[in-house]
Amino acid sequence: MPGFAKTSASKAVSKKGNLGNTLHDDALQNNGTLLGADELVLNMGPQHPSTHGVLRVKLKLDGERVRGTECVIGYLHRGVEKIAENRTYQQFAPYVDRMDYVAAISNGLGYCEAVEKLLNVEAPPRARVIRTILTELQRIASHLVWLGTHALDIGALTPLFYCMREREEILKVFEKYCGARLTTHAFRIGGLQYESYDGFEKDVERFCNDFERRIQEYVDLLTGNSIWIGRTRNVGVLNAADCIALGASGPILRAAGVKWDLRKAQPYASYDQYKFEIPVGTNGDTYDRYMVRIEEMRQSRLICLQAIEKIPEGAIMGKVGKVIKPPAGEIYHSIEAPKGILGYYIVSDATTQPYRVRVRPPSFINLQALDKMVRGHLVADVVAIIGTLDIVLGEVDR
Amino acid sequence: MNPTVLTILHFLQTWWVELTCGVVIVAVVPLVAGYVVLLERKLMADMQARLGPMRVGPHGLLQPIADAVKLLIKEDIIPAESDKFIFWLAPVISMVAALTSMGAVAFGPAFQVARDINIGILFVLGVSSLGFLGIILGGWASNSHYSILGALRSTAQLVSYETAGGLAIISALLLSGTLKISAIVQAQYDQHAWFIFLAPVAGFIYLVASIAETNRAPFDLPEAESELVAGYMTEYSGFRWALYFLGEYANMIVVGSIATTLFLGGWLRPFPNVHWLNWLDFLPAVIIALVGVYCIYRAGKQPVKVQTGFMWAVALGCFAVAFVFAALWLLHLFHRFGVLIPLNLDFILPGLNGAFWFLLKVSGYIYVFMWLRFTLPRYRFDQLMHLGWYILIPLAIINVFAVGISMLLEANGVNRWIGMVLTTVLVLAAAVFLVRWHDQRTESASTASLTPDSYAG
Amino acid sequence: MLDSVLFYFFAGVAVIGAALVVTSRNAIHSAVFLITTLLATAGIFLQLRAEFLFIAQIILYVGGIMVLFIFVIMLVRLDVPLHHLRFRMKNLVVTVVIAVLGAEAGAIIYLARKLPGQGLFIQNMAPPDKLAPNSEKLAESLFSGYLLPFEIASVLLLVAMVGAVVMAKNKKRTEEES
Amino acid sequence: MADEPKPPQSDSPKPEKPGGASTPPAALKPPAAPVTPPAAKPAPPPPKPPPPVQVPLDNELTRRYREHFGAAILDALEDRKQPYLVIDVANLSEIARYSRDEEKFDLLEDLTDVDWPRREKRFDLVAILYSFPHNTRLRLKMAVAENERPASLVELWPTSNWLEREIFDLFGIEFAGHPDLKRILLPDGWQGHPLRKDYDILLQDSAWVRENLGIESGQ
């Protein structure tokens, strides 16, 4: 008992600002009422389990309702665009893998094709088909990472491990192809460095055949689950007009009902040879984005299956010299990366090093829509919405 | 002999079961909680296509001990701006409340600390709900936004779901007509049915409410790691954190015990009144012996010698326990063949058997908790509140009436099962109506882009 | 002997807790001490074999009302306004209150001195284990002899609850309109 | 909005090829696209003459733009089959509004900048527009001097909010009318604009690093 008296006495003197104070002093000063509504500023991140990296979001809360946000980014800024100006064209290619590191192959494809356009050369057909297969596998892998982490954010623990199990199979194919799993540097300017290994088609086919069943597992776990629907329906709605105004692209745009995909609109690699659908949503909410991505995985699987049926024979490298020195000028080339429009704007001054490389990172621009999407929602929805944006901070910050 | 010693001996003679139970609760429950955690991790791993802890001991069997040691020697951090007295007190409250409430739980006909307490079930409920004081105070004392949000959520959740859970319990209490734990179990024996079959809706409501009260997924919002980092535990580390953690798992055991007592027939074996199924009484011994046999079977396959030895040790332990369980049966055999053993174990052995069934049911209940946790996503706070206030509480009230009506019908000569089915169907219809009505409500609310206040009610 | 030890322990805890409730500056600490006091009182109830009162004390006061108290204290900072609200004639008021309470206590002790087995010293206390369990009796008296007051009290509480809800709703509506 | 995907076609619109074979000499190129690199790297004479990569463009689209804005359209060119307009930065917001509303370039795909330090107006601001209905791209390119403040496009395309902040951060161009112009990738107190050509790759704000990170160098 004496301990009680002592602590309480010392506390009475030393206690200045416990949380209640800091919260309510403002309120007292502002409107002088005891029960006046206060705004609480909650700092999410940069170390937070569900900001998918070092994103920091300042949330202005009223209770648990979000009244406004501010994103603080740049914690992972490495100056990739500056580095590009000091490397040759080939030397810079591995750097692009480090931007969206869960979809490194897509980044590489965009960069290689942009430089090829700048050089006015084309990769040979065989190279383009192999590129397509690997890029589509990468799209599946990227969506799997998204699905697992998104479900984890919403509280479903198990899909993450199933997704990682399937992604592992894809990464094994990458590893067999080029020796790397994450930052692959699989493509070269002008084509490919490596021939596809023996049994490449078989590996891809086996994966694709298994994968249909696997997708069904996720669908069983999530799609019809009423908690999942409750957490994602009408959460983070972004309609088509807002998407376009905010530049949000990829699955976000398609979930809003815009049937637009660069693979169809302006085909690159060998996408014009394959039949596939563009899945679209109707409401543009988190659930639609989930459905669109699930369906995109199915379509990617179909593309892979069609592509491995006929990989043309021939060279895998186009006519590109050892020293790449594009004529002066500039090029903008964009592809449909798993996260949206990935664009490269390259200015050449007819030297071996690019004069300027600008990357249009889909994550960076999609992240801008966060504020619009979370206003009026609860803190729990912020987590769901960050997840549904599918951002990679390496790409946001570059 | 010294009169003081005599008094003490007399005291021990009368109270030894209670004292042993108390010591077991204080000393063993933390260990059991540790192993519940291990079991949860193993189950989770199994459902998620991986192995789980495998490093410490064979199949990670020593993992809980390693965890405890690690937590004990971890640096104890108290945030600078926190309220140190409350910060110190809060986890203790949580832990003490959970363990104290276990005192009135009957782990079998013989094992109970507060045996003849007349309000047993109320005691368990009331004292276990005190644990929330620890959560709220801890969240407040940490002086962190995440902690206080977790504490606020926790309080709101407690207030909402204790109401629903309490009303569900009332249904069972109506059927038993007593608050005394042993009498409740006896009532289920006398009425030839577990109360889950007489009041299935109440059982379900209690299941949901107890998940919410123990902050387990899909209602684990106070500590949702993707939103509030760790909720009220964010600033805690080391042994204080372990106290919270143990309190949480002890609470799971408590709610499992309440549900088992009220709805699953307590320590009664399945079909306790059917005499030709009496052989079920030997099942505990057989099951434990089979576990031992399996351990021996696996022992040969262990890669390391130590692990083989460990498996053998476990197997021998199992056999020893099985032998104790079988002793009653063996004693009867000996009696039949005229061998008289001067040991009166009639009191202990049914108790052991009962404890086996009781713990088996509690484990099953906790298994359901875990299963749901690995399968379902998490509710959002307003959805949680809506489920509690708009669906569960009205349903629980309706169910209390329905149980009363079915009892009235039975008193007036209607077959009990007919009355039960009729009222249950009515309650289910009410449930469907409530869910429909609520869905429409939220639909219109969300189209008006103004979702209702999450703390409403 | 054990009984008196327990009684003095509980009573001492209750008194010290109550003193700390009024002396501690921090509202949350006051609440914690109040909980201690209430628990000690509950212990005395249990010692008297009034097990229903004991559990009602724990469930209602400690588990319900105090949780709400702490909830409110956490949300609304009480220290600050209390400092402003310190009123001038407090010494006078405190003296009057203490005098009145002291007089009452003295009068009770004085009047009770003649009753058998009562007064300052407890004699002839009924042996605790002889008392019958009384939850059922409490229920019987509540639902038969005192049914009307019981129902009136519950209706009053219901009215209070509805009133609180209506007030909160009104405030919200005006906020939305403005 | 494009409801149906456009039939596959090449990356660029189908502009009429410039009728005359007369490719302009490189020297005639507008200042916006100097062929001589300002960096001190004298381009060695290539073995064969480089293909004519920048050619004047004269199609429906450019004619409409010229009609509307006259002198504000300084030039219309095509580089590797990708059209771009060189415009006067003073008319940026009108041209952008016209592009969005009349020509249906409804998506601002990217907004970026190129630094040419030797030029009088050292920055080339580049806006890449995409039209969903026509499935075409158009680049608007404008020269901006160091202290010039181009109009912000946030009103037209909210997406340019962060893009302009990034340009401000890395190049130091201030946009007039931007609601919240501050650094985005670098910390607020950072000195210098790293993507300018005179910002060496090894250069950094060592004072900031010392002060905030407590280390000598971040390299």
Q: Mean pLDDT in chain B? A: 80
B151 in contact with C at a CB cutoff of 8 Å? Answer: yes
A386 and A259 within one domain = yes
Instruction: Find the helix packing angle between A125-153 and A104-119, rounded to 10°.
Output: 140
Domain termination site, one of B321, B346, B371:
B346
Confidence band for D106, pLDDT divided at 50, 70 and 90: confident
Q: Using one digit for the tens of pLDDT, what is the confidence trace for A360-394? A: 888 888 888 888 888 888 877 888 888 888 888 88
Show which of residues 3-42 on chain C sit within 8 Å of chain B, judged by CB atoms.
26, 28-29, 32, 35
A299 and A194 within one domain = yes
Work out the number of other CB atoms within 10 angstroms of the CB of residue A21. Answer: 16
**Phi (first) and psi of residue B456, to 5 degrees:** -55, 140
Q: ∠B244-B246-B247 over CA atoms, to 5°?
A: 60
Cα separation of B368 and B357, whole Å?
A: 17
- Residues A281-293 have a mean pLDDT of 88
* pLDDT for residue D13 is more than 70: no
pLDDT-wise least confident of A20-24, A389-393, C146-150: A20-24
* pLDDT for residue C80 is more than 60: no
Better pLDDT: C79 or A333? A333
B29 and B90 within one domain = yes
- Residues A104-111 have a mean pLDDT of 90
Better pLDDT: C156 or B270? C156
* pLDDT for residue B142 is more than 90: no
Q: Using one digit for the tens of pLDDT, what is the confidence trace for B424-443? A: 888 888 888 888 888 787 76
Domain termination site, one of A45, A72, A99:
A72
- Provide the 3-class DSSP secondary structure of residue D196: coil
Take residue B436 and report the two structure tokens written for it: 């429909």
* Maximum distance among all Cα pairs of chain B, rounded to whole angstroms: 84
Do B392 and A176 form a contact (C-beta atoms < 8 A)?
no
Confidence band for D36, pLDDT divided at 50, 70 and 90: very low
Do A367 and A339 form a contact (C-beta atoms < 8 A)?
no
Which candidate, D186, D185, D189, places its Cα nearest to that of D211? D189
Q: Which residue has the tokens 């020195």?
A: A325
Q: Residue C103: its pLDDT value, please?
A: 93
Take residue B280 and report the two structure tokens written for it: 């079920």
Confidence band for C158, pLDDT divided at 50, 70 and 90: very high
Cα separation of B377 and A222, whole Å?
A: 8
- Residues D87-92 have a mean pLDDT of 84
pLDDT-wise least confident of A165-174, B10-19, B55-64: B10-19
Say how many CA atoms lie within 13 Å of A71 toward its Cβ: 29
Which candidate, D49, C159, A64, places its Cα nearest to that of B452? A64
Confidence band for D26, pLDDT divided at 50, 70 and 90: very low
Question: C147's torsion region: left (phi>0), alpha (psi -120 to 50) or beta?
Answer: alpha
Which candidate, A119, A77, A84, places its Cα nearest to that of A358? A84
Q: Residue B342: its pLDDT value, please?
A: 57
Q: Which residue has the tokens 């030297």?
A: A351
Q: Mean pLDDT in chain A? A: 81
Q: Residue C152: its pLDDT value, please?
A: 92
Cα separation of B334 and B343, whole Å?
A: 12
Q: Residue C44: its pLDDT value, please?
A: 84
Q: Residue C82: its pLDDT value, please?
A: 53
Q: Domain for residue D127, yes or no?
A: yes
Q: Can you give the CATH number for the domain in which A110 is found?
A: 1.10.645.10
- Residues D64-82 have a mean pLDDT of 81
Q: Domain for residue B456, yes or no?
A: no
Chain C residues with beta carbon closer than 8 angstroms to that of B123: 55
Cα separation of B283 and B279, whole Å?
A: 7
B369 and B335 within one domain = no
Cα separation of C4 and C8, whole Å?
A: 6
Q: Mean pLDDT in chain C? A: 77
Q: One-letter amino acid identity for B424?
A: T
Cα separation of B19 and B28, whole Å?
A: 13
Confidence band for C159, pLDDT divided at 50, 70 and 90: very high
Q: Can you give the CATH number for the domain in which D72 is found?
A: 3.30.460.80
**pTM given for the model:** 0.77
Min CA distance, D19 vs chain A (Å)?
21
A191 and A266 within one domain = yes
Domain termination site, one of B328, B346, B364:
B346
B263 and B178 within one domain = yes
Q: Residue D218: its pLDDT value, please?
A: 62
Which of the 8 DSSP states describes residue A326?
P
**Domain span including residue D89:** 52-153
Better pLDDT: A49 or A366? A366
> CB–CB of C77 and A21 under 8 A?
yes
Which of the 8 DSSP states describes residue B115?
T
- Provide the 3-class DSSP secondary structure of residue C77: coil
Confidence band for A32, pLDDT divided at 50, 70 and 90: very low
Q: Residue C100: its pLDDT value, please?
A: 94
Cα separation of A43 and A46, whole Å?
A: 9
Domain segments of chain C as ranges: 1-83, 87-132, 146-178
Confidence band for C83, pLDDT divided at 50, 70 and 90: low
Better pLDDT: A23 or A75? A75
| Segment (H or E) for A42 | strand A40-44
Q: Residue B104: its pLDDT value, please?
A: 78
Closest residue of chain C to A13, computed from CA coordinates: C25
A290 and A183 within one domain = yes
Q: Read out DSSP for D125-167?
A: EEEEEEETTTTEEEEEEEEE-TT--PBP-TTT-TTHHHHHHHH
Confidence band for D32, pLDDT divided at 50, 70 and 90: very low
Confidence band for C122, pLDDT divided at 50, 70 and 90: low
Take residue B90 and report the two structure tokens written for it: 């809060």
Closest residue of chain C to B153, computed from CA coordinates: C71
Task: Report the number of distinct structural domains present in chain A.
Answer: 2
Task: Report the number of distinct structural domains present in chain B.
Answer: 2
Q: Using one digit for the tens of pLDDT, what is the confidence trace for D139-184? A: 888 888 888 888 888 888 888 888 888 888 888 888 888 888 888 8
Q: Using one digit for the tens of pLDDT, what is the confidence trace for B316-338? A: 888 888 887 777 667 766 666 66
Among positive and negative, which fits the CA dihedral B229, B230, B232, B236? negative
Cα separation of A43 and B145, whole Å?
A: 9
Chain D residues with beta carbon closer than 8 angstroms to that of A351: 37, 39, 41, 43
Q: Residue C156: its pLDDT value, please?
A: 94
- Residues A168-188 have a mean pLDDT of 88
Better pLDDT: B248 or A1? B248
Do A157 and B48 form a contact (C-beta atoms < 8 A)?
yes
Confidence band for B28, pLDDT divided at 50, 70 and 90: confident
**Domain span including residue A15:** 2-72
* pLDDT for residue A6 is more than 50: no
> CB–CB of C59 and B125 under 8 A?
yes
Which candidate, B330, B317, B185, places its Cα nearest to that of B259? B185
Cα separation of B129 and B151, whole Å?
A: 14
Take residue A58 and report the two structure tokens written for it: 């300042």
Q: Residue C157: its pLDDT value, please?
A: 92
B328 and B400 within one domain = no
Mutation site for A-interface testing, chosen from B78, B142, B144, B145 by largest number of A Cβ within 10 Å: B145
| Segment (H or E) for A165 | helix A158-178
Confidence band for D23, pLDDT divided at 50, 70 and 90: very low
C172 in contact with B at a CB cutoff of 8 Å? Answer: yes
A197 and A245 within one domain = yes
Q: Residue B227: its pLDDT value, please?
A: 66
pLDDT-wise least confident of B100-104, B451-455, C24-28: B451-455
* pLDDT for residue B401 is more than 50: yes
Which candidate, A98, A96, A131, places its Cα nearest to that of A358? A96
Cα separation of B342 and A12, whole Å?
A: 66
Q: Read out DSSP for B148-202?
A: HHHHHHHHHHHHHHHHHHHHHHHHHHHHH----HHHHHHHHHHTTS-HHHHSHHH
- Provide the 3-class DSSP secondary structure of residue A330: strand
Q: Where are the alpha helices (DSSP H) in A179-270?
A: 200-218, 226-232, 240-246, 251-255, 262-265
Class of domain C1-83 as given by CATH:
mainly alpha
* pLDDT for residue B252 is more than 50: yes
Chain B residues with beta carbon closer than 8 angstroms to that of C71: 136, 152, 155
- Provide the 3-class DSSP secondary structure of residue C26: coil
Q: Domain for residue D26, yes or no?
A: no
**Domain span including residue B51:** 3-268+356-447
Confidence band for B359, pLDDT divided at 50, 70 and 90: confident
Confidence band for D45, pLDDT divided at 50, 70 and 90: very low
B138 and B236 within one domain = yes
Cα separation of B451 and B444, whole Å?
A: 9
Q: Residue B452: its pLDDT value, please?
A: 38
Specify the long-range contacts of residues A312-315, CB closer than 8 Å, at least 24 apart. Answer: A312/A125, A312/A126, A312/A129, A313/A126, A314/A124, A314/A125, A314/A126, A315/A124, A315/A126, A315/A127, A315/A191
Do D196 and D171 form a contact (C-beta atoms < 8 A)?
yes
Q: Is ipTM strictly over 0.90?
A: no
B35 and B174 within one domain = yes
Q: Residue D51: its pLDDT value, please?
A: 57
Q: Domain for residue A77, yes or no?
A: no
Q: Domain for residue A377, yes or no?
A: yes
* pLDDT for residue D6 is more than 80: no
> CB–CB of A157 and B217 under 8 A?
yes
Q: Residue A26: its pLDDT value, please?
A: 39
Q: Domain for residue A143, yes or no?
A: yes
Task: Report the number of distinct structural domains present in chain D.
Answer: 1
Q: Using one digit for the tens of pLDDT, what is the confidence trace for A135-163? A: 999 999 999 999 988 888 888 888 888 88
> CB–CB of A8 and C29 under 8 A?
yes
Min CA distance, D138 vs chain A (Å)?
10
Instruction: Using the CB atoms, write b or e for D20-58: b if 16+ within 10 Å.
Output: eeeeeebeebeebbbbebeeeeeeeeeeeebebbbbbbe
Chain C residues with beta carbon closer than 8 angstroms to that of B137: 28, 32, 70
Q: Using one digit for the tens of pLDDT, what is the confidence trace for A336-349? A: 888 888 999 998 88
Closest residue of chain B to C31, computed from CA coordinates: B137
Confidence band for B454, pLDDT divided at 50, 70 and 90: very low
Take residue C66 and report the two structure tokens written for it: 């105090």
Instruction: Using the CB atoms, write b or e for A183-193: b if 16+ within 10 Å.
Output: bbbbbbbbbbe
* pLDDT for residue D19 is more than 60: no
- Residues B299-306 have a mean pLDDT of 76
β-strand A191-192 against A187-188: which pairing, if any?
antiparallel
Chain D residues with beta carbon closer than 8 angstroms to that of A120: 51, 80
Q: Residue B226: its pLDDT value, please?
A: 63
Q: Domain for residue D79, yes or no?
A: yes
Q: Do chains D and B touch (3 or more CB pairs under 8 A)?
A: no
A56 and A200 within one domain = no
Q: Do chains D and A touch (3 or more CB pairs under 8 A)?
A: yes
pLDDT-wise least confident of B115-119, C162-166, D174-178: B115-119
Q: Domain for residue B351, yes or no?
A: no
Confidence band for B456, pLDDT divided at 50, 70 and 90: very low
Confidence band for C78, pLDDT divided at 50, 70 and 90: low
